[in-house]
Amino acid sequence: MTQILIGPLAVAIISTVLAFLIAIIDKVLNNYGQVKISINGGKKVLEVKGGSPLLGTLAAEGIFVPSACGGRGSCGACKCKVTTDVGPHLPTELPYMSPAEIQKNIRLSCQIKVRKDLEIELPEEFFSVKKFQTKVESIKNLTYDIKEVLLALQDGQTVEFEAGQYVQLVVPPYGEITESVQRAYSMSSRPLDKTHIELLIRLVPGGIATTWVHKFLKEGDRVEVVGPFGEFHIHDTPATMVCVAGGSGMAPFKSMLYHMYETGAFQEKEIWYFFGARTTKDMFYLDELAELAARWPRFHFVPALSEPKPEENWKGDVGLITDVLDRYVQSTIDKSKGLEGYLCGSPGMINACINVMKKNGMTEDKIYFDKFA
Amino acid sequence: MINAPDVGLLSLFLASILTSNVLLANFLGTCSFISISKDFKSSMGLGVAVTMVIGICSAICWAVLYFIIKPLGIEYLSFIIFIIVIAAVVQMLEMIIDRFSPGLYLALGIFLPLITVNCAVLGVILFMQIRNYNFMQAVIFGFGSGAGWWLAIMLLASIRKKLDNNNAVPAGLKGTGITLITIGFMAMAFIGFSGMIAVQ
């Protein structure tokens, strides 16, 4: 009897002793004390406890660097410039860095541990980034695979953003997904409505966040979003806007168009909006945008189907959105004030559109885009 | 108390590197051997890490064996206890290196967790147990076996680099296929050493 007991007992005691040792070593070694993080040459100085990755340390202080994977080093989004020497780039950072970025000390903030006083540089816009508690006010089906999700901000919070920017949706663990992830979605709501955030979300088969939104999210649920982020916005020039979108790439343009229409901003700009889909099943907001175009002379809406079926009775343009764009830029659009390209959609669509625009004499520095990664 | 075999430390060291190379004679630790050897620099890092971990774990496990396991008469649990000890030691090593030598951590850190499940480590410790090595022999055998593993992965990494540079490998054999064949040839070549020093 004792012989049977001694074995497991010995294993248990050895495990306990080792676990205890590890805990002590962890406590002693990972104690870096109070550390100062100085941001943008001392504009903001944080006193934090050392030992954790920079990304999480900053988030705990209310500064949210965009990150899609939540700090596992698999998205490469959380880049920031670290001017203090924290050693060479880690193998986990290198896949996401260009040689120029390595030269400039750009690091992945989720991979850098805060061990000593740090000096870092962040875009000013990150200071206005906040975490918002929201409640799902409504979910509408726009097409069979795109949903319009309206989130109402809670606790009297308000959001300040520019049309075209995006937020990160915090997806909690669900089903077999055991870790929280964040995914970026452009806001389709108007900047003037400071108490709501609207997102257009297309179901990506196998996508963690989109599956959650489409299959699990219900009206009344609580959702966290972090934002706003992004450089995609209307440029204040007299040049004509040539906007191209497909699928849920509609979102930033919905925000921009209604913002311009309702506030009369960017008076001089004429706007062409090309929206491509395969069949009428993939089309949405058709009536709303046609109506907007009828009321608003400087806005022209060109929806196009690439594979219309005869029974659909489609009266608009037919062809790949790049071909339609090419036709209009060559013959219909007035180029006297210059053209600016605004693109939002899949990388394939964006690259194809950039080629068409360059072919028609538009320069790359005047083509702005928001690629879905 | 220990009926240690009568071998000199130097010949034991050489034997563990060459004649009874843990990889090429006993085929232990092959998974990381195959997957990491495609990159020369990583092979170097992993080789150093394996050598260090086997050496240190041999010493600690020897103490555990003769001061805990044998006195209590629980040899039948030695596998489990060794695995727990190896995992804990690797974990501690990782934390210590991370704190005191960031440069070394950079080179080895990502490989340390891989080593916890490297069968070469457990294999060497079990050899130490069945061959009744004394403490010095166990340590030398541990470091020697680690060095042997290191030597083998460096050789394989060099060969693979050479193979990658010419297109003589048929498409169907590229990658793991030709690597396994290469390992087979290397193992046969290492049999050539077996007459030199015999240690069992």
* Lookup result for tokens 């890490």: B49
Q: What is the CATH number of domain A240-371?
A: 3.40.50.80
Q: What is the pLDDT of residues A120-142, one digit of tens each?
A: 888 877 777 888 889 999 998 88
Q: Do B80 and A91 touch (CB under 8 A)?
A: no
pLDDT at site A20: 93
Residue range B2-26: mean pLDDT, rounded: 82
CA–CA gap between residue B81 and residue B66 (Å, rounded)? 13
Enter the DSSP assignment of B95. H
Q: Do B72 and A29 touch (CB under 8 A)?
A: no
List the domain boundaries for chain B: 9-195
pLDDT at site B149: 92
Query: Nearest CB to B72: which of A6, A15, A92?
Result: A6
pLDDT at site B198: 61
- A129-229 under CATH 2.70.98.60, yes or no: no
CA–CA gap between residue B153 and residue B145 (Å, rounded)? 12
pLDDT at site B109: 67
Q: Is B126 left (phi over 0), alpha (psi -120 to 50) or beta?
A: alpha
Residue range B47-54: mean pLDDT, rounded: 88
Q: What is the pLDDT of residues A222-238, one digit of tens each?
A: 998 988 888 888 888 88
Has residue B167 got a pLDDT over 80? no
| Residue A103: strand, helix, or coil | helix
Residue range A2-29: mean pLDDT, rounded: 88
Residue range B127-139: mean pLDDT, rounded: 90
Q: A80: part of which helix (H) or strand (E)?
A: strand A79-82
pTM more than 0.80: no
Looking at beta carbons, which residues of chain A come within 8 Å of B74? 6-7, 10
CA dihedral A168, A171, A172, A174 (to 10 degrees): -170
CA dihedral A208, A213, A216, A220 (to 10 degrees): 140
Q: Locate the chain B residue with the closest alpha carbon to A13.
A: B81
- Class in CATH terms, A34-126: alpha beta
Q: Do A14 and B74 touch (CB under 8 A)?
A: no
Q: Do A22 and B99 touch (CB under 8 A)?
A: no
- Residue among A29, A72, A111 with most chain B CBs within 10 A, to mutate: A29
Return all residues near A23 (Cβ < 8 A) that are at least 6 apart: none
Give the pLDDT band of residue B138 (cuts 50, 70, 90).
very high
Looking at beta carbons, which residues of chain A come within 8 Å of B68? 10, 14
CA–CA gap between residue B193 and residue B190 (Å, rounded)? 5
Query: Nearest CB to B99: which of A3, A6, A29?
Result: A29
Cα dihedral A291, A294, A300, A302 sign: positive
Cα dihedral A161, A163, A166, A169 sign: positive
Is the bond into A228 cis (omega within 30 degrees of 0)?
Answer: yes
Its ipTM equals 0.78
Query: Nearest CB to A6: which of B74, B81, B96?
Result: B74
Give the pLDDT band of residue A353 (cuts 50, 70, 90).
confident
CATH 2.40.30.10 domain residues, chain A:
129-229
Q: Do B91 and A10 touch (CB under 8 A)?
A: no
CB atoms within 10 A of CB B115: 25
Range list of H helices, A206-310: 208-211, 250-263, 286-295
Compute the nearest-CA separation of B28 from chain A (Å): 25
Q: Do A14 and B103 touch (CB under 8 A)?
A: no
User: Taking a contact as any Cβ pair under 8 Å apart, which residues of chain B between 20 and 59 contact chain A?
Assistant: none
CATH 3.10.20.30 domain residues, chain A:
34-126
Interface membership of B84 toward A (CB under 8 Å):
yes
CA–CA gap between residue B66 and residue B69 (Å, rounded)? 6
Q: Do B92 and A22 touch (CB under 8 A)?
A: yes
Q: What is the pLDDT of residues A311-347, one digit of tens each?
A: 878 888 888 888 888 888 888 878 788 888 898 888 8
Looking at beta carbons, which residues of chain B come within 8 Å of A92? 110
pLDDT at site B199: 61
Q: Do A29 and B95 touch (CB under 8 A)?
A: yes
Interface membership of A12 toward B (CB under 8 Å):
no
Q: Locate the chain A residue with the closest alpha carbon to B87.
A: A18
Residue range A177-189: mean pLDDT, rounded: 84
Looking at beta carbons, which residues of chain A come within 8 Å of B64? 14
Has residue B200 got a pLDDT over 60? no
Give the pLDDT band of residue B144 (cuts 50, 70, 90).
very high
Give the pLDDT band of residue B142 (cuts 50, 70, 90).
very high
Looking at beta carbons, which residues of chain A come within 8 Å of B95? 22, 25-26, 29-30
Return all residues near B10 (Cβ < 8 A) that are at least 6 apart: none
* Residue (of B161, B159, B150, B167) closest to B184 by Cα position: B159
Q: B120: part of which helix (H) or strand (E)?
A: helix B119-130
Burial B28-40 (b: 16+ CB within 10 A, else e): bbbebbbebbbee
Has residue B93 got a pLDDT over 60? yes
Q: What is the pLDDT of residues A258-305, one digit of tens each?
A: 898 888 888 888 888 999 888 888 888 888 888 888 888 888 888 988
Burial A174-202 (b: 16+ CB within 10 A, else e): eeeeeeebbbbbbbbbbbebeebbbbbbb
Compute the nearest-CA separation of B74 from chain A (Å): 6
Compute the nearest-CA separation of A122 from chain B (Å): 25
Give the pLDDT band of residue A246 (cuts 50, 70, 90).
confident
CA–CA gap between residue B18 and residue B10 (Å, rounded)? 12
Q: What percent of chain A has pLDDT over 90?
A: 8
pLDDT at site A326: 87
